[in-house]
Chain A
Amino acid sequence: MEATTKLTTLAALPLMLLLLVMGVALPADLRSLTIDIMIFSIYAMAFDLLFGISNQLSIGQAMFFGVGAYGVLLPALRMGVGLWAAMLMALTLCLTLALVLGPLAVRLSEAYFVIITIIFGMIFYFLAMSWTWLTGGSDGLTFEVPPITLGFISYSVYDPIANYYFTLTFFIIVYFILKRIMDSPLGMILVSIRESEERTKFLGYDVVRYKLTAYVISAIFTGLSGALYAIRCRYASAEYFSIFISVEPIIWTLIGGAGTLVGPIVGVALLTPIAYYISALWKHYLIIVGLIMVLIFRFSPKGIMGYIVSKIRRW
């Protein structure tokens, strides 16, 4: 844990500076790819808090991603609400949903938790597909994104550079909040629940409450990434709820290294471009994703960051 902390602090600042410069320096297509990477990274980090830190494997996070996306889209489209208000509504919706469904899920064992989150995800997917009057089904809905207002100034997300810095701001905020949480007593307690839930309970911790906290925080940031993605695409569809969206953060986290926070970002940064280019060439690239999931534990159970951290520890 110490080694990770040092490593990430060391790497974080130059990376942030690089990201700041990249916004203006990059050509349009790479800039847009970087925006995607940052959005998915928020999703991946939120997933890492849930899976990597507190060992709650959810295969239904697309539910929050989709609700976040539609939570921004629908108020803006149907009620003409401003961007900040729409985003606030999206996050509130995710918070509420997590508070309703979370208590049902987090008190269950590992296996039951996986199953029930799969069911959550599928029910939302089926509903989103069938309620076309609300969601537009798999064709989806497009909307005009309201401008980003900051006091008297306002920017349009249709300006790619404005959109870049808009996303970057959230990326940095989420990174620092989650980093803070992981270093705080709460983070430590979640790790101890991962290591031995029984023991933690008998030390006087209300384990269910801590697990629920992790679930809710993860839900809110997953919703945020969905909202940002809808804003960036000016579009959302029922496919945002699909199981593929739920499975993606698993891959990112495993490749990058679960429980390291930076690892999942590395995973996203590595896989997103690959997915872009390979899927253009070969549409069944998901077979590769599947094979990675089957084989990864044999070759690299700790992921890239886990490998680096273990090397540093040995010094």
Chain B
Amino acid sequence: MVETLLEMALLELAEKLLFTIANGVVWALITALVALGLSFIFGLMGIVNVAHGELYTLGAVLTWYSLTRLGSFWLGIALAPLAVGALGSVLERFAIRPVEGRPAYTVIVTVGIAFVIQQAVLATFGGWPQVMPDPMPIVVHFAGVRYPAYRIFVAAVSVLALMGLWSFLHKTSLGLSIRAAMQDRDMASAMGIPVSSIYVITFSLGAALAALGGALAAPIVQLHYLMGLDILCLAFIVVIIGGLGSLKGTFVTSLIICPLENVLSLFITPTEARVVSFVVMATVLLLRPRGLFGTIVR
């Protein structure tokens, strides 16, 4: 009798743990979408995009508008990345390009962009958090674990997007040009690769990825005009641990840090779990300043 009780308790704990880890992996994939854009933009252009969190916010908020005004959540997931990607190309061309090559200036410009977006969202969306209904209210039973179908959908879409990004970078000539420009910008320019259009495309792609992350996350998080700050902080931690500019590093690190934070959150507050990630980051920086997978010493 005692044994079965213990077994049941253990089983419950195991189930809870599994559920938490699964959530962590889903969250890691969303984080990877956001952080990859950040890492990508830095790797190519040397720009620390502080407005990246706000592009994520925009993705989420636009999806919310699509649901409440147009009546379709799915349309939002499709359109939000496109709209934010277009916005990204405008931002790169008209706001960031004029100060290119001056790291401090570009950071300040992106902080300005972040403020404008934040306040614009506050003015239209309002200051109160909103929660979205689950667009796929089905629960999947898998190996004795019950899991919401929407989160599986999020994982699938994220994996598809990441694979798409990978094949874009490795199999298309445009992707090849981007990687060449990341390696050596002057050389790429000398070889006739139009570096300035590549910059627009990269920034726009990074913005679209962030927005896709936001759109996918919209039904599983609280929508708030400052929601970008939290993901920006997490994405920065991930990118530093993985190595700025290293796409592989960013991806692998997300898959480690996010489930770790989720599991820790069973015992301590999420903020304290974030502090643990921060300590991991600090340790990595001390022992290996270029990050786990970084090649560039920064």
> At the interface with chain B, which of A10-18, A180-188, A215-223, A283-291?
A283-291
Q: Does B173 contact A (CB under 8 A)?
A: no
B112 touches A291 (CB 8 A): yes
- Shortest beta-carbon distance, A132 to chain B, in Å? 11
B286 touches A119 (CB 8 A): no
- Shortest beta-carbon distance, B196 to chain A, in Å? 18
Bitwise, B100-130 to A at CB < 8 A (1) or not (0) is 0011110111011111101110110000000
B240 touches A289 (CB 8 A): no
Known: A123-B275, A123-B278, A290-B112. A57 touches B269 (CB 8 A): no
A281-305 interface (Cβ within 8 A of B)? 284, 286-287, 289-298, 301
In the complex, A293 Cα to B272 Cα: how many Å?
A: 33
A250 touches B274 (CB 8 A): no
Known: A122-B229, A247-B115, A293-B108. A284 touches B278 (CB 8 A): no
- Shortest beta-carbon distance, B295 to chain A, in Å? 14
B116 touches A109 (CB 8 A): no
A233-265 interface (Cβ within 8 A of B)? 243, 247, 250, 254
Known: A123-B233, A250-B108. A111 touches B115 (CB 8 A): no
B109 touches A294 (CB 8 A): yes
Which of A57, A115, A243 is close to B104, meaning CB atoms less than 8 Å apart? A57
* Chain B residues closer than 8 Å to A57, beta-carbon distance: 103-104, 107-108
Q: How many residues of B are in contact with the other chain, CB < 8 A?
A: 46
Which of B103, B112, B285 is close to A114, meaning CB atoms less than 8 Å apart? B103
Q: Does A205 contact B (CB under 8 A)?
A: no
Q: Does A33 contact B (CB under 8 A)?
A: no
B120 touches A293 (CB 8 A): no
Q: How many residues of A are in contact with the other chain, CB < 8 A?
A: 40
Which of A59, A107, A297 is close to B105, meaning CB atoms less than 8 Å apart? A297
> At the interface with chain A, which of B42-50, B77-85, B207-215?
B42-50
A254 touches B114 (CB 8 A): no
B116 touches A119 (CB 8 A): no
Q: Does A30 contact B (CB under 8 A)?
A: no
Most buried by A among B48, B123, B281, B285: B48
A108 touches B115 (CB 8 A): no
Q: Does B75 contact A (CB under 8 A)?
A: no
In the complex, A108 Cα to B236 Cα: how many Å?
A: 15
Known: A57-B104, A114-B103. A119 touches B50 (CB 8 A): no
Which of B50, B114, B123, B286 is close to A104, meaning CB atoms less than 8 Å apart? B286
Q: Does A96 contact B (CB under 8 A)?
A: no
- Shortest beta-carbon distance, B79 to chain A, in Å? 25
B104 touches A119 (CB 8 A): no
B285 touches A127 (CB 8 A): no
* Chain A residues closer than 8 Å to B244, beta-carbon distance: 111-112, 115
B229 touches A104 (CB 8 A): no
Q: Does B237 contact A (CB under 8 A)?
A: yes
In the complex, A127 Cα to B116 Cα: how many Å?
A: 26
- Shortest beta-carbon distance, A197 to chain B, in Å? 12
In the complex, A127 Cα to B270 Cα: how many Å?
A: 10
A111 touches B48 (CB 8 A): yes
- Shortest beta-carbon distance, B221 to chain A, in Å? 15
* Chain A residues closer than 8 Å to B240, beta-carbon distance: 112, 115-116, 119
- Shortest beta-carbon distance, B236 to chain A, in Å? 5
- Shortest beta-carbon distance, A201 to chain B, in Å? 14
Bitwise, A45-71 to B at CB < 8 A (1) or not (0) is 000000100010101000000000000
Nearest neighbor of A130 in chain B, beta-carbon distance: B271
* Chain A residues closer than 8 Å to B103, beta-carbon distance: 57, 110-111, 114
- Shortest beta-carbon distance, A222 to chain B, in Å? 18
* Chain A residues closer than 8 Å to B99, beta-carbon distance: 297
Q: Does B133 contact A (CB under 8 A)?
A: no
B111 touches A55 (CB 8 A): no
- Shortest beta-carbon distance, A315 to chain B, in Å? 29
B42 touches A111 (CB 8 A): yes
- Shortest beta-carbon distance, B275 to chain A, in Å? 6
A114 touches B107 (CB 8 A): yes
* Chain A residues closer than 8 Å to B236, beta-carbon distance: 115, 118-119
Nearest neighbor of A118 in chain B, beta-carbon distance: B236
B112 touches A292 (CB 8 A): yes
B111 touches A59 (CB 8 A): yes
| A contact residues vs B (CB 8 Å cutoff) | 51, 55, 57, 59, 104, 107-112, 114-116, 118-119, 122-123, 126-127, 129-130, 243, 247, 250, 254, 284, 286-287, 289-298, 301
15 contacts between A and B (CB under 8 A): A104-B286, A108-B298, A110-B103, A111-B244, A112-B244, A114-B107, A119-B240, A243-B229, A286-B115, A287-B123, A289-B112, A293-B109, A294-B95, A297-B98, A297-B109
Q: Which 4 pairs show the lowest CB-CB distances between chains A and B?
A: A293-B112, A290-B115, A290-B116, A294-B112
